[in-house]
Amino acid sequence: MFQPLNPLLHSELRLAVMSLLVSAEEAEFPYIKEQTGATAGNLSVQLDKLSEAGYISVEKTFKGKRPCTICRITPAGLKAFEEYIEALKSYLNIGK
């Protein structure tokens, strides 16, 4: 039986962001932008969606006089990511 795929995480960019944050725990906006190849505008929109879902926290601070946006995965985000991976495995018959 297939488990449903979380539509919020099924987006390529949002999944890439979550994958980065699972391994890095936190990352600054420019790093995420560079690693995903996303435009600043598109990345910002997708980070907002993940934040609204409670999957990541977004902290806006300053480094000196420069704005700095730091993203962190939340426990709810980690759980959702793990469930997404398990659902993918059910489609691929991995670990059965």
Buried/exposed 60-80: b ≥16 CB within 10 Å, e otherwise: eeeeeeeeebbbebbeebeeb
Q: In this predicted model, what pLDDT tens digit does every residue of 10-41 receive, in sequence order?
A: 899 999 999 999 999 899 999 999 999 999 99
77 has a pLDDT exceeding 60: yes
| Rounded-to-integer distance, Cα 74 and Cα 31, Å | 19
Please give the share of the chain, as a percent, with pLDDT higher than 90.
80
CB 43 within 8 A of CB 93: no
Amino acid 78 reads L
- pLDDT (mean) for 51-64: 96
Handedness of CA 21, 23, 26, 32 (dihedral sign): negative
CATH tag for 12-87 (out of 1.10.1060.10, 3.40.50.300, 1.10.10.10, 3.40.50.2300):
1.10.10.10
Neighbours of 14 (CB within 10 A): 23
**For position 89, what pLDDT does the model report?**
87
- pTM for the whole thing? 0.89
